Chain A
């Protein structure tokens, strides 16, 4: 398969984890500028798992997700009394503090061939070669990333239909009404923060094993911002929203060779315009409903419904 396509799939997939983690918080009504922090936690935890603790991939990914969840919990605890703006700023501060902290974090142990391995502060964390040492090719890598992403998407879609998922959405859409109906927005945000930490960390661990070398600068604010923007552009209604956002940006990057030195400007302008024109994103609830209805109409049925309008006649398109 085309190398460029494989690398696009892998990079897009990794960015999607970041975007999905931001999406989870958006659904709970919170904006986070700090998802790159969880991404970093996962990258370092997952890397340390395979490189220093000799774990296989799956346990290392689990460890990374757990570390991300714990980090999410810590952030949630620190911010439990804050409202939207305060939470956003706190997440920014926490991620930056973590990133600079990683510049000071050094834990070197002797590796299999005697040379030291492990995080080395500003020098980064290299030698995360577990996957390539077991014979992974670029295609295998892409498959792994897309596979794990698909699992996460299925899980998120399923969760969205449970009572918990609905409560989350309610809390995000209208906190006052949600409280009146017995849903606690603060608890919803807490849970969303923990979950988003796990998702981002999972992506981070995969990123570390893909790149084999990570350093604190990889987890700067720009990374998290991109994830947030993908989720904002794509829309909150469905987990596919962030993927639309990722595709939009990758399309801009690859399709826009003419944007050579102006990529940030182009992306920034596009995001500003989109957020002004469609503040709820491309795939907002109304659009999703319309697409689903169109899908139903397009699908041939064995027993076509009688052509009349109104709920009494069995027309379900007015039901959200």
Chain B
């Protein structure tokens, strides 16, 4: 079981990024975006298409993936959630799902087929032959995930705790009413949050797809579900909670996979999510009195 730790943590760190993007969007915008996984799928497929059809090099494709995910996220936000007056949150969620359908079919039209092979970091690390000296079960994709997630999380922390926009965002997450009264530019901050959340999601998607080695249209739903599971486990709106939730999900998945096979992996996210909602909907953050902003 201990041998599973490194791979579980690697997967978990990718999920942590996913959850961070989710929880940031929720904390600032106060809504659950069910099209999140679909925007990530759009970014991934766009990147794969660019690499395969347009022959663009691996190194340039990753920024394209991040950009497409961010743009798709902004579009979804404008379409679903911007005109929220008078509409219940759950209808907005349903509209998010409708957009998920659109994005998923769009992706399938771009690259038809059940699944597409994905090299880790789109082939940038191909020549390095890292697999030989990694512990058993670990591949270069896992190492890439750990490193990239650590860097991204650190960058996010730096943004939030060392810059003025970051301070403003934290204030907005903490107390939206007070933030408005203090004259914070809520619309601009919301846009920033959507963009950052999209970038994190795109990166997370690339890392997860790299670990899996392939991606299919169903990735949209599984990414959404796992992001939700990790974010809610940690406490929606809590950034440290999202980190913890993601790592726990990654470990749980790896353990379930070793016991029950691939179905076990798929089962772990849903069961974890259901369990958290049934037993402690406010998530882990409520245990340490953290910045959870959940109203689940």
Task: Report the Cα distance A30→B94, complex, angstroms.
Answer: 12
Q: Which of B80-88, B168-176, B180-188 interfaces with chain A?
A: B80-88
CB-CB < 8 A to A261: which residues of B? Answer: 105, 109
Q: Which of B80, B278, B296 contacts A272 (CB 8 A)?
A: B80
Q: Are A88 and B93 in contact (CB under 8 A)?
A: yes
Nearest chain B residue, comparing its CB with the CB of A103: B263
Instruction: Compute how far the CA of A53 lies from the CA of B260 in the bound complex, rounded to whole angstroms.
Output: 29
Is A31 in contact with B90, judged by CB distance below 8 angstroms? yes
Please judge, given known A-B contacts A31-B94, A264-B104, A265-B101, whether A96 and B277 are in contact too, CB under 8 Å.
Answer: no
Which single member of B99, B101, B296 contacts A89 (CB below 8 Å)? B296
Contact (A85, B274) CB under 8 Å given A225-B97, A272-B80, A275-B98: no
A8 at the interface (CB under 8 A from B): no
A28 sits at the interface (CB 8 A): no
Bitwise interface map of A from 214 to 239 toward B, beta carbon under 8 Å scored 1, else 0? 00000001100100110010000000
Closest B residue to A102 by beta carbon equals B263
CB distance from B29 to the nearest CB of A (A): 13
Q: Is B242 an interface residue (CB 8 A)?
A: no
Is A104 an interface residue when CB atoms closer than 8 A count as contact?
yes
Task: Tell me whether B281 and A276 are in contact (CB under 8 A).
Answer: no
Cβ-closest chain A residue relative to B279: A78
Interface residues on A, range: 35 or more
Interface of A, helix, strand, loop or mixed by DSSP: helix
| CB neighbours of B232 from chain A (8 A) | 89
Within 8 A of A (CB), among B48-83: 79-80, 83
Per-position 1/0 for B262-296, Cβ under 8 A of A: 01001101110110011001000000000000011
Min C-beta distance of A307 to chain B, whole Å = 37
Contact B102 A268 (CB under 8 A): yes
B102 contacts A228, CB within 8 Å? no
Quick one: CB contact mask for B84-125 with A, threshold 8 Å, 1 for yes?
Answer: 001111110111011111101110010000000000000000
Given contacts A82-B296, A84-B88, A89-B228, contact A97 B97 (CB under 8 A): no
Task: Using A31-B93, A90-B277, A276-B83 as known contacts, say yes or no to A85 and B295 having CB atoms under 8 A apart.
Answer: yes
Confirm or deny: B32 has a beta carbon within 8 angstroms of a beta carbon on chain A: yes
CA distance in complex: A82, B90 (Å) = 13
Q: A93-B273, A221-B221, A264-B104 are in contact. Are A83 and B98 (CB under 8 A)?
A: no
Q: Does A148 contact B (CB under 8 A)?
A: no
Chain B residues whose CB sits within 8 angstroms of the CB of A30 once the complex forms: 90
> Are A268 and B101 CB-contacts (below 8 A) given A85-B296, A93-B270?
yes
In the complex, what residues of A have CB within 8 A of residue B189's CB?
A: none
Q: Which of A252-305 contact B (CB under 8 A)?
A: 261-265, 267-269, 271-272, 275-276, 279
B270:A97 contact, CB within 8 angstroms: yes
The residue on B at minimum CB distance from A261 is B109
Residue B225 at the chain A interface, CB threshold 8 Å: yes
- Rounded to whole Å, the gap between the CB of B201 and the closest CB of chain A is 18
> A229–B225 contact, CB under 8 A?
no
| Residues of chain A within 8 A of B271, CB atoms compared | 93, 97
Any A CB within 8 A of the CB of B204: no
A93-B277, A97-B271 in contact; A84/B90 too (CB < 8 A)?
yes
Cβ-neighbour of B90 out of A85, A94, A96 (below 8 A): A85
Q: Does B229 contact A (CB under 8 A)?
A: yes
By a CB distance below 8 angstroms, the chain B residues around A78 are 274, 277-278
| Chain A residues closer than 8 Å to B83, beta-carbon distance | 276
13 more contacts with CB within 8 A, not counting A276-B95, A279-B86, are A85-B32, A86-B277, A89-B277, A90-B273, A100-B266, A101-B267, A265-B102, A265-B105, A267-B98, A268-B98, A268-B101, A272-B99, A275-B91
- Can you list 6 A-B contacts (CB < 8 A)? A31-B94, A93-B271, A100-B270, A264-B102, A264-B104, A268-B100
